[in-house]
Structure 1
Amino acid sequence: MANTTNRIAGTAYLTADGKGYSVAGDFEYDPSSVARETLSGQSGVDGYSEKPKPGEIKATLRDMGGLSLAAINAMTDVTVVVELANGKTIIGRNMWTVEPQGAKAEDATVPVTWQGISVTEN
């Protein structure tokens, strides 16, 4: 068995409500719960504003034979779990898909974005 103690990147295993999906690439996640914007005026920097923002999980999936874009588009309350090469597990609960999901015929890929109230990293 190869030693993988130094591996920090390269693989991502994604499930949504327990169903596995083939990740072609471009995996990203954002567990942030707030968005801040610096407030500046003509006399200087005054401070910042803060408002809630959803957590987000993004991945480019491979359009394999069993993949249903309609089913992905219909996701409104799913748990997304991703296991990464660095040992982290990313969990998004009660997530929904946003943005249109369109398949690219040239390389059989589908970019998908899930958003939700809670994204954690373990």
Structure 2
Amino acid sequence: MDTDLVLSGGLLAGTWRSGSDLSLPGAVDALAVSFNEVTGQGAREAPGGPSVPFSWVLQDGRVLASTFARDTQPGQLLPVCPPGVGDCREVLRRVWTPLRLGVRDGLRRLYVIEERFADAGGGLQRTSRQLDFYDTP
């Protein structure tokens, strides 16, 4: 683990694609995030599945990606809405904690501990914590 590695817009410039998601059968560009600023929006795409919108922010040297929903609009996911205002709540969150950044043959690979959280109605609960990697040319 590189304790000096802090994620920032300059370090992460470019489009990063999830290595573990791409290894799933049939997955195509399952998670691609362009980090040209310190905040933004994107969508997770999975073949045969719905597109899941999210917003992301670089905070305290980590990436936080969130998806929101409104209880009055069941089944509709949103990249942003103010949590706690009206019926808006965060339903999905991904957190990247950086471990190592490597460069080989012109490809940058970022290794992270990725935590995933979901809300099934009782608040966000961690559903997984795993080693993951993201690549960019």
TM-score bracket relative to the smaller structure = under 0.3
Q: Which has the larger radius of gyration?
A: 1
Q: Which has the higher contact order (CA 8 A, sep 6+)?
A: 1
TM-score by length of 2: 0.25
